[in-house]
């Protein structure tokens, strides 16, 4: 049984509410409070999901970085509409977001790439993400090749590596309540404003 908690405010601005919950998650989650499930649909209408890491967000959207030629990258190219889900077990809360994806500005991707450890930069070059890998030795050889290539040099961002910004058109905030009578609020974009409504659990 969880402790008694306040209901979600239906008049709250969703990005402000996200920020409050995310800060709590950063304080309470043991690992990766920024982990989110990303669901995409490819051109054959088959769904796929995976965990990615949120790297930044603001009122314009939620940003993550990846290889643009990966499975998720190809799906996004075919269908830019995606869904993400944050679940924080320690808080007994989750946030579901739907929206449209665009590639971030190149300067933003380059700035973020510069903050990555050297090993991660090399990995971005070495990994043909989502492609078939014969064995780990093949990957090690590619890592060694690019380590030598960039030895004592600046490691530039690969052209097929960048960030995606998910511009939300729907938020759903969920928090656990006793007897599975959970608290759910959905916010939808209405022009430039957000309109909230309460949902049955």
Active-site residue set: 180
Name the pairing type of β-strands 61-67 and 35-41.
unpaired
Which of 100, 119, 112, 118 is CA-nearest to residue 161?
Answer: 112
Q: Which one-letter DSSP state was computed for residue 70?
A: S
Give the C-alpha distances (Å, rounded to integers) separating 145 from 122, 123, 148: 9, 11, 5
Q: How many CA atoms lie within 13 A of 55 on its CB side?
A: 17
Give the relative orientation of helices 136-149 and 118-126 as an angle to the nearest 10 degrees. Answer: 120
DSSP state of 115: H
Q: Mind giving me the DSSP string for 154-190?
A: --PPPTTEEEEEEEEEEEEEEE--GGG--EEEEEEEE
């Amino acid at each position: 049984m969880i402790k008694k908690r306040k209901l979600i405010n239906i008049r709250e601005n969703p990005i402000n509410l996200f920020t409050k919950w995310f800060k709590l998650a950063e304080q309470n989650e043991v690992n990766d409070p920024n982990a989110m499930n990303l669901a995409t649909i490819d051109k054959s209408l088959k769904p796929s999901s995976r965990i990615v890491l949120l790297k930044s967000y603001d009122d314009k959207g939620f940003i993550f970085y990846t290889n643009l030629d990966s499975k998720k990258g190809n799906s996004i190219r075919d269908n830019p509409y995606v869904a993400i889900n944050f679940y924080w077990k320690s808080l007994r809360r989750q946030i579901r977001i739907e929206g449209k994806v665009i590639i971030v500005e190149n300067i933003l991707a380059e700035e973020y790439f510069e903050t990555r450890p050297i090993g991660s930069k090399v990995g971005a070059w070495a990994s043909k993400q989502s492609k078939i890998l014969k064995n780990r030795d093949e990957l090690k050889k590619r890592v060694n090749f690019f380590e030598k290539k960039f030895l004592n040099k600046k490691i530039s961002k690969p052209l097929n590596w960048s960030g995606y910004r998910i511009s939300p058109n729907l938020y759903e905030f969920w928090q656990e309540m006793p007897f599975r009578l959970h608290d759910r609020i959905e916010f939808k974009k209405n022009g430039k404003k957000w309109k909230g409504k309460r949902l049955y659990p």
